[in-house]
Amino acid sequence: MPRRKHRSRHYLSFAVLRLAALVLALSWTAAWVPLADYVNIAAAWWWPVLLAAVAIACWRLRHRLALWPGIAVFVAALATGLVLFHPLLKQGPSMGRSTQPVSMIEFNMLKSNPNAREDAAWLAAHDADILVLLEASRMQKEWGAVLQAKYPTMVSCSEHYSCSTVLFSRFPLVRHEAHAGDGDADNRKALSALTAVLDVNGTELTVIAAHLDRPWPLGEQSRWIEPMRKVAAQATGPAVMAGDFNTAPWTHAMRTISGAGEFRLGSGLVTSWPKENAALLRLPIDQLYLRGRVQATSVETGPRRSSDHLPLMIYLEIPDGKDNRD
């Protein structure tokens, strides 16, 4: 009986190693098969569990030749974690002595928001320097007057169509590119993203705002990864990229986009959706990225509003006009 029990433990350890190898293979396959990136969205939950399970399996097999495949799986799990969570480890350049503060709110307001006017009034009262709003296409006609009256700069992601990705700023606009062009971004026929270069007291700050589609089968996110990568690659100087990316920052998709423009993750493990869940059960699909000499001094979720997302309350330090090197 003890020998049979001992053997069953070994079988269980082998099963754990096989399952772990399969999960790791799927994680790496995301580089070629977008659907496999679904595995990586949940990596913050499964990776520590997988690593612990493989370690236990290796301990149980420590006196058998099968230990060596177990060690190989353990090393592969460590390598996978380093690749996936590298965005959490990237550090920015030194800020120097001369900086200025910038406040910002990123918020998916929800297209069907029943209390959009109240949420717009809340945004106006908070008095942030920059607003990045998603699913805000109705604002021009229905509830945007309070923000238009407050902010001298307003741009969206499309030239002629109504577009749900909108930026407000108290700083003057230097230039702007609507990446949807003449396309209909609200119906996912064009990229829902914009780039605005703002004059922040003598420093040009690039702000990219984006709202990516959901992954297949709920959406066609893979279609927009390459266009979004090209947008990020065009950024120069101090820059921020914020929005609802409908995936986690450690997925292959987001590592590809952020890496193209030398962006680093600024929002860390802050989770925003769905708002009803506890923080550990929410996903970090609303994200902030930083480029160059920009530092996030604070990124937190704001109060629950009428959207299904929580807003991101962002406080930045950027070079002032006397010291605005890249």
Which has the higher per-residue pLDDT, 233 or 59? Answer: 233
Would you say residue 25 has pLDDT above 60? yes
pTM exceeds 0.95: no
User: What does the alpha-carbon distance between residue 159 and residue 226 come to, in Å, rounded to a whole number?
Assistant: 21
Return the domain boundaries, the chain.
2-84, 99-319
140 pLDDT band, cuts 50/70/90, is low
User: What does the alpha-carbon distance between residue 256 and residue 226 come to, in Å, rounded to a whole number?
Assistant: 9
Q: List pLDDT tens digits, range 146-198.
A: 888 899 999 988 877 778 899 999 999 999 999 987 777 767 777 889 999 99
pLDDT at 323: 59
Mean pLDDT of 216-242: 89
Mean pLDDT of 84-112: 89
> For 103-112, 209-218, 262-271, which range has the lowest pLDDT when averaged over its residues?
209-218
Across the chain, mean pLDDT equals 88
Q: What is the 3-state secondary structure (H, E, C) of 209-270?
A: EEECCCCCCCCCCHHHHHHHHHHHHCCCCCEEEEEECCCCCCCHHHHHHHHHCCCEECCCCC
293: nearest Cα among 324, 252, 321 = 324
Residue 218 makes CB contacts below 8 A (sequence gap 6+) with none
Q: Which fold has domain 99-319?
A: Deoxyribonuclease I; Chain A (3.60.10)
